[in-house]
Structure formats: structure tokens, C-alpha cells
Amino acid sequence: MDISLAPEIITEIAGLQITNAVLSAMIVVLIILLLAVLLGSRLNIQNPSKRQVLTEMVIGGFYNMSRDILGNTKAQRYFSFIFTFFVFILFANWWGLLPFVPSTGIIHAESHTESSSAQDDHGETTDNKCLSSQTCVYNFNEGEVEDHEHITHLFRAPTTDVSMTLALAVISVLFTNLFAVREKGFLGFIKNYFHSWNPITILVGLIEVVSELGKLISFSFRLFGNIFAGEVLLLVLTSLTFGIATLPFLGLEIFIGFIQAFVFMMLTMVFMSISTQTQSH
């Protein structure tokens, strides 16, 4: 069982490579759609069912929080966009904790010459081979996988893929700026960065633009690092101790998954409220 930074490619459809993170993301979206259809059916104002009351409590709680931060009209416009981040990231993080996700895969034989020629620099062959095609973090084989075989994992938590978290960060930062254009007009949006036009404020404006890119890196690496480190932690613990001893760490990972989704949503909200602020102080 090896943990690789890059997700493993399962198939290739019409030139696009489908990795296990992409497959898991599609499954997560299907689960969310199913949940939405189930929870949004048979709604009743006078006589709500328990499921409806619970859903309204959760979503209403988040909506009230966004109204505190964004203000009434903007919360009404942008809440669905922001809450989607939360729901998708939450389910994507929790998907990686389900029991069948780390272990389901396809075993196929690996040729000897490829793996041995990449590793023999000391003249001794080690049992832990990291395949030259991907960056391996940890590698040990256990159970049914022989040393000359290689397992391709079928599922993976989507947020352990840097491409996925980077895509989420790009969407968040891009739409924060686009909503600023929508609220304030293009000139007002430029004023976000460049208040006036003397050399000092132009420099400050350029630094502000660079710090937007810094937000990209920060968003993506925070989410990726937390969830990927959690996955590595669980895998290493499972190799060191028996299954039930990882129970408190599974609890920690559930909590961290929730917190990271919540923080992504909160930060998007806060940055959006800063950038779309229309009245002057």
C-alpha cells in the first residue's frame, strides 16, 4: 500500500485522464444530488416533517451566520454559492474516511526491470520500492499484494488531490473578484486595489494583487495539507497498531474534515464581504 501525492490514473476517456480523485468527486456529487432530492421533496409549511425541520435548522443556521457577515441582500444573492463550497468539501473530506475507500483497488503485475533499475543506486535491493512514475510518500506491501505487483486504488478523497483544492481555490478567489465587479462596477473593483494614483499606492496595489494570489496558495494548501496529512496519519497508524486503536484518530479526522469545510466557507464569505463593501467608512 503506497501513498502517492498525485492521484493514480484509472482510465482514459477521449484523451482525458480519469484519476481516482476525479471518480470519487463524481461519486460525491451524485451523493449530494441524491441527498438534495431526498431532503427537498415533500416540503410542508404548516406541518413539517422531522427531516425538514432538521434541514431547515442546519441551513438556517448557516444562513443567519452569513447574514451577520454579508448583510441581508448580499447574503440572499451569494449564500447558495458559498454554501455549496461547504457541502462539497464536507462530503469530499468525509468520503476518504469510509472503510472501503483506501483498500479498494485493482492489482496488476509490475514488470521487474522497470522497478529494479530505478532503485539500485547502492547496489542493494530494498523491499520498499517507490515506483518511478509517481512521487511516493510511504510504501509498504501487506496482505495480498506481492512485491512485484502494484495496486491501483480506485477511490481517494477528492480533496487530497492538489488539483482539486487548487480548482476550488481558483473558483473562490475568481468569483470573489467577479462579485466585486458585479456589486461595484469595474471602476469600483479597481478601486479595491488602487485607491488613488500616485507611485506609492500603485506599489501597494500591486502588492495587494500579489496577495490575492497568495490567497490561492493558502486556500489550496490548507485544505490539501490537512486532509492529506490526515490520510497519511491514518494509514501509518493502521500499519503500526491494530484497527480499533485508530478510532480516536478517525474521530479527529471527522472533526477536521468538518472544520476545514467550515473554514473554507467562512474565509470565502469574509473575503467576499471585504471586496464587495460598497459604502465608504
Question: With CB under 8 A, what is the number of residues at the site for another protein?
Answer: 23
Distance of closest approach, residue 137 Cβ to another protein, in angstroms: 6
Grid cell for residue 55: 434541514
* Closer to another protein by Cβ: residue 182 or 222: 222
Distance of closest approach, residue 251 Cβ to another protein, in angstroms: 17
Dihedral in degrees, nearest 10, Cα atoms 88, 91, 94, 95: -100
Q: Exactly one of 226, 246, 268, 276 binds another protein (CB under 8 A); which one? A: 226
Grid cell for residue 57: 435548522
User: Which H or E element spans position 150?
Assistant: strand 149-153
Is position 135 an interface residue for another protein (rule: CB under 8 A)?
yes
Cα of first residue to Cα of last residue in the chain, in angstroms, is: 57
Instruction: Give the Cβ contact number of residue 201 at 10 Å.
Output: 14
Site for another protein in 137-156 (CB under 8 A): 137
Is position 166 an interface residue for another protein (rule: CB under 8 A)?
no
β-strand partners of 161: none
Is position 263 an interface residue for another protein (rule: CB under 8 A)?
yes
β-strand partners of 108: 150
Query: How far apart are alpha carbons 261 and 218 in whole angstroms?
Result: 14
Stretch that binds another protein, among 46-54, 109-117, 144-152, 224-232 (CB under 8 A): 224-232
Stretch that binds another protein, among 81-89, 132-140, 151-159, 175-183 (CB under 8 A): 132-140
Grid cell for residue 141: 506491501
Residue type, 252: L
* Closer to another protein by Cβ: residue 5 or 206: 5
Return all residues near 234 (Cβ < 8 A) that are at least 6 apart. 97, 102, 246, 249, 250, 253
User: Are the C-beta atoms of 61 and 49 separated by less than 8 Å?
Assistant: no
User: How is residue 103 annotated by DSSP?
Assistant: T
User: How is residue 246 annotated by DSSP?
Assistant: G
Is position 194 an interface residue for another protein (rule: CB under 8 A)?
no
Q: Exactly one of 1, 101, 136, 216 binds another protein (CB under 8 A); which one? A: 136
Distance of closest approach, residue 30 Cβ to another protein, in angstroms: 29
Is position 274 an interface residue for another protein (rule: CB under 8 A)?
no
Residue 1-30 contact track with another protein, rule CB under 8 A, x = bound: ----x-------------------------
Is position 93 an interface residue for another protein (rule: CB under 8 A)?
no
What residues make contact with another protein under the rule CB under 8 A? 5, 65, 122, 130, 135-137, 218, 221-222, 224-226, 228-229, 232, 259-260, 262-263, 266-267, 270
